[in-house]
Amino acid sequence: MRILGVDPGLTRCGVGVIDVDSRRQPRFVAVHVLRTPAESALAERLVSLEEQMQKLFDLYQPTDVALERVFSQHNVRTAMGTAQASAVALMTACKRGLEVHSYTPTEVKAAVTGTGRADKAQITTMVTRLLNLESAPKPADAADALALALCHAWKGAGKSRLAAHMAFPTSAQSVLASSS
């Protein structure tokens, strides 16, 4: 399974890619931080973000997409940019027939560090260790994107997909049941 994790942002959008084997062991593939210039018009920034994201989807061919769920922030302007970047990721995945799985920051922190109250430094440290990286992914958006991919691998749909891949085909199950 190849998971593309997206930490949405209009100025900086983290995109992390991992592969996960049948034992749920993750392997680092790539990490990117997509950027759009703050001085550009909103429509131009969204188009640029979509074009960059399309290239990454084409390059990495993910089977799963994990996206940080937009939550209420004190800064409305920041929340709007995050929501708009999320929409671009959703649209890009949808065009390819991929379902997007959303996780709250607390879910991601808990999955990667064991506590939902972890700070950015703790997340970066754990992502670096879990993926056996030589150096920490920077900026924090990069580490967060990889953390989202890891969260999906170990929770919810990622876990279900891996279980389905490991299950016997239905015909094998019926043969085994009839031979008892």
Q: How far apart are CA 111 and CA 126, in angstroms?
A: 10
CB 92 within 8 A of CB 57: yes
- Among 64, 68, 107, 144, the active-site one is 68
- Among 7, 50, 107, 144, the active-site one is 7
Token pair of 57, please? 């989807």
The answer to whether residue 21 is catalytic is: no
Q: How far apart are CA 95 and CA 78, in angstroms?
A: 26
Which of 159, 36, 49, 38 is CA-nearest to residue 107? Answer: 159
The answer to whether residue 50 is catalytic is: no
- Among 50, 107, 141, 144, the active-site one is 141
The answer to whether residue 141 is catalytic is: yes
**100 - beta bridge partners?**
65
Point out the residues that are catalytic.
Answer: 7, 68, 141
